[in-house]
Structure 1
């Protein structure tokens, strides 16, 4: 399996990158991002790309891929709807359209979030924008999926790029086993999310929107 990862320097992206490099059936991992992951591995190749609204210059690199794990995202805190939409919707759809043309059979997995609003009409700005993005991805790809994890505990050295998230995770790390027992359908880890992505890329899933409880 040949996979491409967007957002591999983020917390979820770090998790799926690790699991992809460990998986015996993944023969190559392409990472597209603005900054390097800092990882070295025989399977791994990275492309530095600045403009996430236009992938024309690297379209040839997207041919023949089996799976895309799209983990790129930002917090909506302090952002206008236009700014959040630009990063969340415009970036995602630019990558998705480029992949749909270059590798039409690709399985495209978009990491969304618990509470996403599929109707696109709710009161929460971030949930509307995520819902619009999910809907567009699912319309574009016959093998498209949206992952909606809830609380994700970073594992195996994965680190959030958001400062207050890092502080939260330091506090909750010792509590994770308790949280997992109390809220099994809402709590997961970067390892489990990464493994779930690979499982869906291999086998598909009975539904196209996966909630936290579906991620293992």
Structure 2
């Protein structure tokens, strides 16, 4: 199966890493990125739509058909944000996009970048974890061919990309130690990207992938 993927959040660190691996992968034949500002990446496989209002993609809906994968990497930090606003920018935004894509592309596999510690019960004490859990649960109810929730923990960035945060160079020493002592919490951004790609071509035996699942699928 050749992948025709839509990627959101490609101007952020995670989305840029996923885009990078998609452009390298022989399994991916076409990539569409939806950005709020130009991403500055040029490649024969790549097409970009600059659209500022991600809450409403209906004006560009006719350009979103014919894709069999979406890698949803758009997200915000909950730091300093009240739960209502975080929910609007996480649950509401993600579902608005996903519902439209499910309608336009019923054969689509939807991959959502969530996070380690997400609360599937939606009842825990941590606000962001409840919101992420609600988002995952709602996505898995949509009529996609498949929907996978990826829960990375600490991720080692892909070297050479533009969005590698400066502070990573100061904590890079932590990664090999953490991976050795607590492999369930540490992966690379490349492993996440490869796992997302392989979820489309190979599938996976469960819809929620923790760090160990991400690493295992990336190696297949």
The structure 1 residue matched to 2:97, chosen from 92, 95, 98, is 95
Q: Provide the residue aligned with 1:34 in structure 2.
A: 36
Alpha carbons of structure 1 residues 119 and 77: separation in structure 2 relative to 1, 3 Å: same
Retained in 1: the 8 A contact 2:118–2:151? yes
SS at match of 1:76: coil
Alpha carbons of structure 1 residues 2 and 118: separation in structure 2 relative to 1, 3 Å: same
Structure 1 position 125, deviation (Å): 0.5
Structure 1 position 178, deviation (Å): 2.0
Superposed CA deviations along residues 141-163 of structure 1, whole A, max 9, x for unmatched, are 340110000111111234558xx
Alpha carbons of structure 1 residues 159 and 130: separation in structure 2 relative to 1, 3 Å: farther
SS at match of 2:112: strand
Retained in 1: the 8 A contact 2:37–2:52? no
The structure 2 residue matched to 1:66, chosen from 59, 65, 68, is 68
User: Any unmatched runs of 5+ in structure 2?
Assistant: 216-220
SS at match of 2:28: coil
Q: Provide the residue aligned with 2:210 in structure 1.
A: 211
Whether 1:111 aligns to 2:110 is no
Structure 1 position 13, deviation (Å): 0.6
User: Any unmatched runs of 5+ in structure 1?
Assistant: none
Moved beyond 6 Å, runs of 4+: none
Q: Provide the residue aligned with 1:172 in structure 2.
A: 171
Structure 1 position 12, deviation (Å): 1.1
Structure 1 position 176, deviation (Å): 1.9
Whether 1:143 aligns to 2:142 is no
Q: Distance in 2 between matches of 1:25 and 1:139?
A: 27
Alpha carbon RMSD of aligned pairs, Å?
A: 1.3
Superposed CA deviations along residues 124-171 of structure 1, whole A, max 9, x for unmatched, are 00000000000010111340110000111111234558xxxx354222
TM-score (ref. length: structure 1): 0.94
Retained in 2: the 8 A contact 1:158–1:190? no
The structure 2 residue matched to 1:16, chosen from 18, 25, 28, is 18
Retained in 1: the 8 A contact 2:121–2:130? yes
Q: Provide the residue aligned with 1:154 in structure 2.
A: 157
TM-score (ref. length: structure 2): 0.92
Structure 1 position 195, deviation (Å): 0.5
Q: Provide the residue aligned with 1:3 in structure 2.
A: 5
Q: Distance in 1 between matches of 2:159 and 2:38?
A: 19
Alpha carbons of structure 1 residues 159 and 40: separation in structure 2 relative to 1, 3 Å: closer
Q: Provide the residue aligned with 2:218 in structure 1.
A: none
**What is the count of residue pairs matched by the alignment?**
212
Retained in 2: the 8 A contact 1:153–1:176? yes
Q: Provide the residue aligned with 2:201 in structure 1.
A: 202
Retained in 2: the 8 A contact 1:10–1:159? no
